[in-house]
Structure 1
């Protein structure tokens, strides 16, 4: 999936522009690298409110993704991470990042006028990780209003996942 060149200023379901969502994702990747390296919450978040995309948004995305992948690959499974919401395990942080990345992929698809369908295998795997831990993830304060409690019994897995993360497709 590739964003159209004219989509950067489009709105998204999380009430910010496509460019702002991409910047948020890049900042999240940088945050993850810092946190996984042992940074405090203050150190991990320092400077992330600045523009992370510069003149080469796609380059910033690629570089931050590579650094994040390397950081997760080398992460100590027993390290306590000092997240702004409190100390958390690596498992909790993995769920947090995966949820954020998948849901923001959907936000970008909507904002970019692209196919909104998420890979069913990704949705199923993420839901299996997230569903038993929804309350814990919500306390991290990152997923909007959370579940609506208005889903029909026959709602698709994607709709259930998005709804749990505060999206109302």
Structure 2
């Protein structure tokens, strides 16, 4: 299935998780980040991801704490804007920038966006004791996208060392392990 269609499958699950987050100070499986830090990360990079879909360059602004205000409404709006921008098939064509001068294939950036929604969605869900269910077609695509950039992601500190998962593990457990997350993590 094309990425522009998969983004429409990923976003509603992530939005449901956002609605059910219960504690901003809860730890997440994303090492060193609690829910507050992860929410701020998503809000910080979100506008740059939307701009990348539109082939515009927008460097992220200064990092600020968005969680003093109505962060849930802000995060919902950001997920919706990201899904709408990457829901356009043209977003996946050609090349784009992600807040900096380096051009990258747009489909690579789109794959990263899918990964952000699923992986960070799972991080937020796990911190809140939720068990999200994403479509296996989406999760398998995210696995392909993480595999495509895993070595570079580890060099950049985006992914931790792989957590091996058995070959017969569910697709979500395999992608979590590939991204350096322990699928059995609990707070």
TM-score range, shorter chain: 0.7 to 0.9
Which of 135, 141, 149 does residue 134 from structure 1 map onto? 149
Match of 1:52 in 2: 66
Decide whether the 8 Å contact of 1:34 with 1:44 is kept in 2: no
Which structure 2 residues correspond to residues 53-92 of structure 1 after superposition, within 5 A? Answer: 53-72=67-86, 73=88, 75=91, 77-82=93-98, 84=100, 86-92=102-108
Structure 2's unaligned 5+ residue stretches are 1-15
Asked if 2 retains the 8 angstrom alpha-carbon contact of 1:103 and 1:162, the reply is yes
Distance 1:140 1:100, change over 3 A: farther
Give the stretch that moved more between structures: 137-146 or 26-35: 137-146
Choose 59-68 or 97-106, whichever is displaced more: 59-68
- Contact 2:94–2:105 (CA<8 Å) still a contact in 1? yes
Cα deviation, residue 112, structure 1: 0.6
CA pair 152-19 structure 1, distance change in 2 beyond 3 A:
same
Q: Structure 2 length as normaliser, TM-score? A: 0.71
Q: Relative CO higher for 1 or 2, CA cutoff 8 Å, sep ≥ 6? A: 2
Distance in structure 2 (CA, Å) of the matches to 1:57 and 1:93: 25
Aligned alpha-carbon RMSD (Å)? 2.8
| 2:34 corresponds to | 17
**Which of 4, 20, 24 is the matching residue for 1:3?**
20
Kindly indicate whether residue 180 of structure 2 is the aligned counterpart of residue 166 of structure 1.
yes
Q: TM-score, normalised by structure 1?
A: 0.78
Moved more, 158-167 or 122-131: 122-131
Q: Which of 136, 153, 156 is the aligned partner of 1:120?
A: 136
Q: Helix, strand or coil: the match of 1:113? A: coil
Distance 2:179 2:171 in 1: 13
Show structure 1 runs of 5+ residues with no match: none
